[in-house]
Chain A
Amino acid sequence: MNTGVNLKPVAKPVVLTVDQIDKSDHHYNLFLPDSEEYCFTDIIIVQKTGRRYRIIDGFKIINAGLPVHHQFPAICFPESASSFSILSKLVETKVKKRPLFPIEIASVFQMARQDGVSDIELMTLLFPLFGLKSNAGLIDRYLQFLLLTSSIIKYMIEKNAPVKTWLFILKFTQNEQLDLGDLIRLRPTLSIFEEIVSNLYEIQKRENLSQTDLLSQLQWKTILTDENLESKERIGQVRNAISRRRFPLLSTHKDNVEAALRQITLPENAGIHYNDSFEKKELRLNWCLHTKADIKKMSDFYTDDTIRKIQQLLDTF
């Protein structure tokens, strides 16, 4: 395999002033800032481009408002260094600091593809850095992350969503993603977001329904934009409506169980629990006993009437 790429271009230390940097060149600005703090230990990497220098790494520091004659040390790639060799080096530096977000990996793939790097070269040289398995199909899938709506990208980064969630969201068209924006604006936890979108998708597939129709039936927008409700309540209502639609029989079953459970008056030191998969006809009664009075409450609880109600509860299983 001839990659045509010199992976070890000679980069040399230099001392530059801020006005030597071409701040408008964002060619390598592919990564999110590593930290909100200004970090003096970060190494600035540049490449000579004609009379000026292009930033490879260190955008945040350079753009932090330093005086134009401020001097700083940097590592400089020669003008002749190939774009991919610089990119590889940059990725290597970045992954040492933190795992990259899927969207950053996508940007790297996009840039490499634009530079004419083959998929085999990408798999050989970059996949190991990203911890990806050798599968060329992944490149195209990652590239699709760049087409996600900006609100989804921002949310996924904020919640540090795993790749599987990014991949799942690809199942939604751009218009469908825009509808998800109503939910995202309320900043649900990632696990609740994943549950809601997964249920939404699966209902659509099962019922052969468009998302528009489904959301309208679920009163998605009405609930999520209801300013009389707290964000948590809006999310809770939508989540509940979707879950009931996704699992109608189980929901009804659970309603019946809960109704029977409400017939039983439990002392405050007792709790009744059950597994809501309903694979077992089983209740668990927990007692918290500290004092003699607690024990008395327990013994008083098991009247004929309560036992009958517990049996009725079990029968609803």
Chain B
Amino acid sequence: MNRNHQFQRIYITESSLLDSVTKEILSKTPRRIQRIIPDDYNFAAEVQDLDPKTVLLLTRSKGDIVKGCPGTDESYLCCNYQVVNQTQNCPLHCTYCILQFYLNQPATVLYTNYDEIFLELKRKIARQPKRFFRIGTGELGDSLAIEGSVLFAKQAIRVFAETPNMLLELKSKTTNIQDLLHLEHNGHTVLAWSLNPQEIIHQNELKTAQLIPRLEAAQKMAEAGYLLAFHVDPILFHRDWERLYSELIDELYLHVDPRQIAWISMGSLRFPPSMKEKIIERYPNTIIPYAEMVRGMDGKLRYARPLRLPMYRLIYQKLTAVPSPPFIYFCMESSLIWKEVFGKAPESNAHLDFMFAESLYRRFPGLISEKPQRSHYDEGFSLDTLPE
């Protein structure tokens, strides 16, 4: 499939033309929509009437793009995930997506200086050789929705395959896996999908792959030896949520063996209050902003605890009702919720990071060479922290 079809205009900075991947991306797009521009050219005024999702900028990154996931404030637990922001923005249209409001740029940005990005990554990883890193490309965009992201993923899979202490996570709501099936991944890439019941996908995840195709894609990747992950996030309140989420987990395990799942996250809908009116304006028919939400300790709106707790409990119960259940965690949840659902909570973000490593070490022999030590995680630091 053509993963560039959504673009109405493509800007290419002069320096980006030097990168081989730029030529590869451009070879699959019509010349008439391509514009070569100086590196410091500001094209914002030319595209002010266009949706940034339909404008592509191929350029070289100027600063660091390997960073710690920003997570949320200290009132909620985060997992010390690391991200590579090579793709910024996403062609999919999810009603709840923070990117469409968070990214204040006129175009979808793809960095083409892959070699430099991988050097930055290796340089930063080398500073903490005893720690095992989970690193994703799906933080500011879908990992596989556009051509330039898939090309990056292909090269990243090879780089990660050769680096012992890091695991790549490609997170998607598409089924664009064909180009990845036969790559040498050495078990160091996790293919992850966001999951929601089909009815919710239909109403809120526009232009994404439907549920069953996502699960079938996951099945194929598992057959190709990749590890899998799933993110039941954002869980959306629906009057029939018990049936919908229950059936979702049944469907998941019908397609995928839990032993091949590295981790599953749960998280409920949350967004900054300023996003509420923007969601209503952009998607006037959606009812998601009208649920029972409160301002959480981090200032974001989230479902009230009495609403989200039963949803979490049901999903967790279903997810763990199999032999050898996967590692399950919360994304941006409070210790209180952890304890109420799991019966225990990590002591800190570093502890949660360690729990991941420990689970991977135990469940996937050979993936991590040495038994993880808690102290390496407690003393660890984010990849965007400068060395002293």
Interface residues, chain A, CB within 8 Å of chain B? 202-203, 205-206, 246-250, 252-253, 277-281
Contacts and interface: CB of A to CB of B under 8 A. Distances in A.
B325 interface: no
A250 B292 contact: yes
- In the A-B complex, list the 7 residue pairs whose CB atoms are closest, starting with the nearest: A206-B290, A277-B294, A249-B306, A202-B290, A253-B306, A250-B304, A278-B305
B336 A281 contact: yes
| Interface size classification for chain B | 10 to 19
B334 interface: yes
B237 to A, nearest CB: 10
Given A253-B304, A277-B295, A278-B306, 19 more contacts: A205-B287, A206-B287, A206-B290, A206-B291, A247-B292, A248-B292, A249-B304, A249-B307, A250-B292, A252-B306, A277-B294, A277-B296, A278-B304, A278-B305, A279-B75, A279-B334, A279-B336, A280-B336, A281-B336
A229 to B, nearest CB: 29
A252 B296 CA distance: 19
Contacts, number: 43
A252 B304 CA distance: 12
B328 to A, nearest CB: 21
Given A202-B290, A205-B290, A247-B292, A279 B306 contact: no
A205 B285 CA distance: 9
B297 interface: yes
A248 B307 CA distance: 10
Nearest to B76: A279
A278 B307 CA distance: 11
B290 A280 contact: no
Nearest to B308: A249
B282 to A, nearest CB: 14
B292 A280 contact: no
A206 B290 CA distance: 6
B287 A250 contact: no
Nearest to A246: B292
Residue of B292, B295, B334 most packed against chain A (CB within 10 A)? B292
Interface in B280-321: 287, 289-292, 294-297, 304-307
A317 B291 CA distance: 20
Nearest to A164: B277
A249 B241 CA distance: 15
B31 to A, nearest CB: 34
- Chain A CB count within 10 A is highest, among B289, B294, B296, B334, for B294
A279 B294 contact: yes
A281 B340 CA distance: 11
A214 B304 CA distance: 23
A301 to B, nearest CB: 26
A103 to B, nearest CB: 22
A281 B338 CA distance: 13
A202 B280 CA distance: 11
A250 B304 CA distance: 7
A170 to B, nearest CB: 13
Interface in B228-251: none
A274 to B, nearest CB: 13
